[in-house]
Structure 1
Amino acid sequence: MKIFLVRHGADEEGYRGGWSQRGLTELGVNQSKMLGKYLYEHAEQYDIQTVISSDLPRAVQTSKEIEAALDISVTYTPDWREMNNGELAGMLHAEAEEKYPGIYFNTLEMHTAFPGGESPKHFYTRIRNSFENLCIQLEAKKMKSNVLLVTHGGVINILYYVLLNREWSNTSSFYPIYNTSIHTFERQQNGWSVLEMNRISHLRS
């Protein structure tokens, strides 16, 4: 059983992300088109049967390009959203720094939430539980493997720690996760193995 994790395309700089409703830039759309083309051209290699996506606009726009290229209907769900940064979502950096000085993802205590949002601990638990539920559905054959999951950098980073059985906190080092990068995990007898990290060959073509 394989799971392919994909980060959305490039979005606008200068704004706080999280649950932002801002979409992709022109670059991000082009990256997503190139990813869709790459996955289509390598369909036998990846053998993707199911596509699931975060329902935030930047992930949806990325998934629409994959959906068009592979002719596979995407399931959109809030389960795979980035961390909920509440009132800071989509806010200009300068405005956020003025209204909420010093409040960043890695400055929060693990049980301290963003204003109107969630805490790092809640975020980690949400993603871990979503992944466990995904595995249960796959094992019960309620969905087809292999699964491609379009989500966000923070989510993929947590999944690295979950799948490699490493302890995580919001100050842990961040795995390299570029826009529209592919990260391939395979479940084997002794656990999960990483087959492909941060693959962006489609952006070089």
Structure 2
Amino acid sequence: MTEILLIRHGETAWNAIKRLQGHLDISLNAQGTQQAKALAWSLQNEKLDAIISSDLQRAVQTAGEIARLQGISTRIDAGLRERCYGGFEGQLYSEIPHVFPEAYAAWKSHDPDAEFPPGENKGETTRQFHQRIVAHIEHYAKQFEGKKIALVAHGGVLECAYRAAKGLPLSAPREVTIYNASINRFEYKDHALQLIQWGDIAHLDTDAMDEINQNDKAS
């Protein structure tokens, strides 16, 4: 059995204004950096055997805060990147239905094989993305059998894990909220992913964030 902490990166400026990121490499904003520090602080007494991060800087920066308090280095894996949305990337969510009405309708229909219009990067269908992510999660679960690891990634990655653990079809709409800097606990045993806890953001409450701010001022 492998314990897996699936962690979403802290907030970015694009998260704050609801601009779709995908493979575009956006860094944490000031709030996201504080969230990452609070997240790391909450995990400091849990021994992690490995921290593996998406190669996008918002995930790398979040993972770096955890790694610093754990005293270990971060492994980087582009296979844990967010889904690529093709031409949707860089657009405000509110703009997409007007710029790409047909592709937007196909996306919202939850067709797992719907394709995105071309953009800076080539888009992935839901099926392609899900297969990529589940394969990478299973790879690390088997590599670190009997240990506890953190995978620091993105909202779409967390959703893939949730669907896999719950056995949900790819055509089903999202049924959970995915929070920035959240801790989502899974176990991998008997060749299957099992959900243990979803959406832990207790470390982001006002008192915890205030404590991080005070520690920053003192250091």
Q: CA deviation at 1:196?
A: 2.1
Give the Cα–Cα distance (whole angstroms) in 2 for the partners of residues 106 and 72 of structure 1. 41
- Residues 141 and 188 in structure 2, CA contact (< 8 A), matched pair in contact too: no
Query: What are the ranges of 5 or more consecutive residues in structure 2 without an aligned counterpart?
Result: 209-219
**1:184 matched to which residue of 2?**
185
TM-score norm. by structure 2 comes to 0.79
**1:135 matched to which residue of 2?**
141
**2:19 matched to which residue of 1?**
15
Give the Cα–Cα distance (whole angstroms) in 1 for the partners of residues 132 and 98 of structure 2. 30
Q: Which amino acid in the other structure matches residue 134 of structure 1?
A: Y
**1:38 matched to which residue of 2?**
42
> Which residues in structure 2 correspond to 1:43-62 (within 5 Å)?
43=45, 46-62=46-62
Q: Which amino acid in the other structure matches residue 20 of structure 1?
A: L
SS at match of 2:144: helix
Q: 1:190 to 1:72 in 2, by over 3 A?
A: closer
Q: CA deviation at 1:93?
A: 4.2
SS at match of 1:122: helix
- Residues 103 and 115 in structure 2, CA contact (< 8 A), matched pair in contact too: no
**1:151 matched to which residue of 2?**
153
- Residues 47 and 70 in structure 2, CA contact (< 8 A), matched pair in contact too: no
Give the Cα–Cα distance (whole angstroms) in 2 for the partners of residues 52 and 95 of structure 1. 34
Give the Cα–Cα distance (whole angstroms) in 2 for the partners of residues 74 and 109 of structure 1. 35
Q: Which amino acid in the other structure matches residue 153 of structure 1?
A: G
Q: Does 1:79 align with 2:83?
A: no
- Residues 158 and 168 in structure 1, CA contact (< 8 A), matched pair in contact too: no
What is the total number of aligned residue pairs between the two structures? 196
**2:63 matched to which residue of 1?**
63
Q: Which amino acid in the other structure matches residue 52 of structure 1?
A: I
Query: What are the ranges of 5 or more consecutive residues in structure 1 without an aligned counterpart?
Result: none
Give the Cα–Cα distance (whole angstroms) in 2 for the partners of residues 30 and 174 of structure 1. 28
Q: 1:77 to 1:175 in 2, by over 3 A?
A: same
Give the Cα–Cα distance (whole angstroms) in 2 for the partners of residues 189 and 169 of structure 1. 22
- Residues 164 and 193 in structure 2, CA contact (< 8 A), matched pair in contact too: no
TM-score norm. by structure 1 comes to 0.84
Name whichever of 55-64 and 167-176 sits farther off. 167-176
**2:111 matched to which residue of 1?**
109
Q: Name the % identity.
A: 31
Give the Cα–Cα distance (whole angstroms) in 1 for the partners of residues 99 and 36 of structure 2. 34
Give the Cα–Cα distance (whole angstroms) in 2 for the partners of residues 74 and 121 of structure 1. 28
Q: Which amino acid in the other structure matches residue 155 of structure 1?
A: V
Q: Does 1:26 align with 2:30?
A: yes
